Amino acid sequence: MKARVHVMLKNGVLDPQGEAVRHALGAMGFDKVNGVRQGKVIDLSLAEGSSEADVTDMCEKLLANTVIESYSIEIL
C-alpha cells in the first residue's frame, strides 16, 4: 500500500516562502498570480494491512504540526 500525505500551512498562517515565490513570479512577468502557498508532499510505502487510520495517526503525531499545518491523505 502506498499513501501520499500533503502538508500545507493553515490558512491565516503567513507563508513567507510562498510570498517570495509569488514575488519572483511577478518579477518574471507572470502578473496573474494572486497568491502562492508552498507545502510538502510525503510519500509513504506501507506494509500490507496498513490503513488510512494508521496514516492519520502518523500525521497527527509527527508528519504535520497541527498548530500551524493542515494535512490531507491520498491512498495511491
Q: Which is nearer to other proteins, 17 or 51 (CB)?
A: 17
What residues line the site for other proteins (CB under 8 A)?
Answer: 9, 13-14, 16-17, 20, 61-63, 65, 67-68
Q: Which is nearer to other proteins, 13 or 75 (CB)?
A: 13
Q: CB–CB of 61/18 below 8 Å?
A: no
How far apart CA 8 and CA 73 sit, in angstroms, is 12
Nearest CB to other proteins, comparing residues 65 and 72: 65
Please report how close the Cβ of residue 48 comes to other proteins at its closest, in angstroms.
Answer: 25
Backbone angles phi, psi at 24, to 5 degrees: -65, -45
Cα 67 from Cα 9, distance rounded (Å): 9
